[in-house]
Chain A
Amino acid sequence: MVLFLQIRIGLNNMIKLPVYLDNNATTKVDPRVLETMIPFFTEDFGNAASRNHPFGWKAEEAVDYAREQIAALIGANEKEIIFTSGATESNNLALKGVFEMYAEKGKHIITAVTEHKAILDTCKHLEKQGAEITYLHPAENGLLTVAQVEEVIRPDTILVTIMFGNNEIGVLQPIREIAAVCKKHGVLFHSDATQAVGKIPVDVMADNIDLMSFTAHKMYGPKGIGALYVRRKNPRVKVTAQMDGGGHERGMRSGTLNVPGIVGFGKAAELARLEMQTDTNRIIKMRDRLENSLLTLEESYLNGSKEHRLPHTTNISFKYVEGEGLMMAIKDIAVSSGSACTSASLEPSYVLKSLGLDDELAHSSLRFGLSRYTTDEEIDFTIKCVTDAVNRLRDMSPLWEMFKEGIDLKSVQWTEH
């Protein structure tokens, strides 16, 4: 395969292909993170629960330190961090754990249709267990309003779960306002902050968040380690364990701790806390340049709110270009398209559809996710590659020709097949 080759662009700047712009899916592990992890595989491999020897003590000490690093990033107390295998598990533990723990209060949960599958599928599971779920629909720009949430709170509402930043379009919900309304009504508030933590300032105290899911691999840490923040004061929140066993993590999540992963997560959190601002300043400039250039193409549209957005994400649709053909044309760039590949058929993204995009436009959208490793040269290359691809495919597209002739495509009698 000709996947990894070097190309020369500009003067002497070599870039490695394909260009990786899928950082909302996962990020590269920062070498500084990897370095801190390695001794915990080799020398200091102890079980953090081993109380009788230095191997265990060393591991426990490292875990404690990482817990502090992670807590510091989100303004929490270290006792409020429950380690899990990732945000999927954290979401499961938060929703199922609250549903079971607060069953006496009620069984109503509020969420939104644009949430990650780890929330939506957990909600579906809970519906089978008797939960009543209200799914809010955001506006065309992907935003929910506080009023929308408050309107549907009932006396038996036990939890509101709304994501911080959306993984596909990057839209940031008014979390602080929504959380305040929940507090006012005495309802617990959970946020899937997987895409936000480490990228923008998140403070569980200032934001009034009761439970929060996040994961290391979206912030230059390793895969397979995440956390659930569980508030200990005002109010003291409890979740029923979903994994029974040795009673680790204050009984909320049993299982031998993934010490190297936790150490790496801690280091990644510390780096994020210290470097977030400088990273963001650079990334947002590149993101805006990419976005503005691609939006100069005719009939290209930005998906989701431009203002309320994660700094590293942009999602753009190119009308009259077919999604799969587009992906093939830009194989030198690793991005996600608006199609979720479910076995053989391509399903248009439910997030984009919920914003009112039709299937075609959803399929022809690209999500770009930048990182601290993204370079200006990579952005130059991406702009050129996508622009050329869109132009070339449009030159080949009968729909583009018809559009240019002023034919209303909705009036055409298409033959189904």
Chain B
Amino acid sequence: MAYSEKVIDHYSNPRNVGTLDKGSPNVGTGLVGAPECGDVMRLQIQVNPETGVIEDARFKTFGCGSAIASSSLATEWLKGKSVDQALTIDNMDIVEELALPPVKIHCSVLAEDAIRAAINDYRVKQGLEPIAEEKSHH
């Protein structure tokens, strides 16, 4: 399996690995995937409740190099975005940025799912409706 340089870079120097306090009302946590499928991603966002801007994002991923790179890239993109902007991140943007081959597209899908799950967790904590499942994955 040949990995792109960007995948290798994120895999070797992952950005924002870590854990945020999942009990905090300003932190949204998304845990997606399954161990038996070979990837589990946990993505967390910390939102400024005043501005709605994501101030911090962290991940931990059990998975292949592409899964690690997809989640690392997602945290980079999330930081500084508003929650609404974050919802526009599309898995195909990740595929493009990391030059993922077709067999690794599911890694980007998982990252998008993780973003959504984290945002919904945050929304529910804030007393808001979760965003409805929108299955428009490529």
Contacts and interface: CB of A to CB of B under 8 A. Distances in A.
Interface string A312-324: 0000000011111
Contact of A417 (B32, B35, B60, B61): B32
Contact of B14 (A322, A358, A396): A396
A359 B37 CA distance: 9
B100 interface: no
A177 interface: no
Contact of B113 (A320, A397, A415): A415
Nearest to B31: A398
A360 interface: yes
Contacts of A346: 38
B11, B37, B40, B103 interface centre (most CB from chain A within 10 Å)? B40
Interface string A297-335: 000000000000000000000001111110010000000
A346 to B, nearest CB: 7
Contact of B60 (A328, A401, A414): A401
A326 B111 CA distance: 20
Interface string A249-268: 00000000000000000000
Given A398-B60, A399-B62, A401-B60, A324 B40 contact: no
Interface stretch (B63-71, B73-81, B123-131): B63-71
B60 A396 contact: yes
Given A346-B38, A395-B17, A401-B19, A414 B33 contact: yes
Interface in A385-414: 395-401, 409, 412, 414
A190 interface: no
B39 interface: yes
Contacts of A416: 34, 37
Contact of B65 (A328, A359, A409, A412): A328
B64 A324 contact: yes
B109 interface: yes
Nearest to A341: B1
B38 A363 contact: yes
A344 interface: yes
Contact of A398 (B41, B65, B106): B41
A415 B19 contact: no
Given A358-B36, A401-B19, 16 more contacts: A320-B62, A322-B67, A324-B1, A324-B63, A325-B63, A328-B64, A345-B103, A359-B38, A363-B38, A398-B31, A399-B35, A399-B62, A414-B35, A415-B32, A416-B34, A417-B32
The 7 lowest CB-CB distance pairs between A and B, nearest first, are: A414-B34, A324-B64, A398-B42, A398-B60, A344-B103, A397-B62, A328-B65
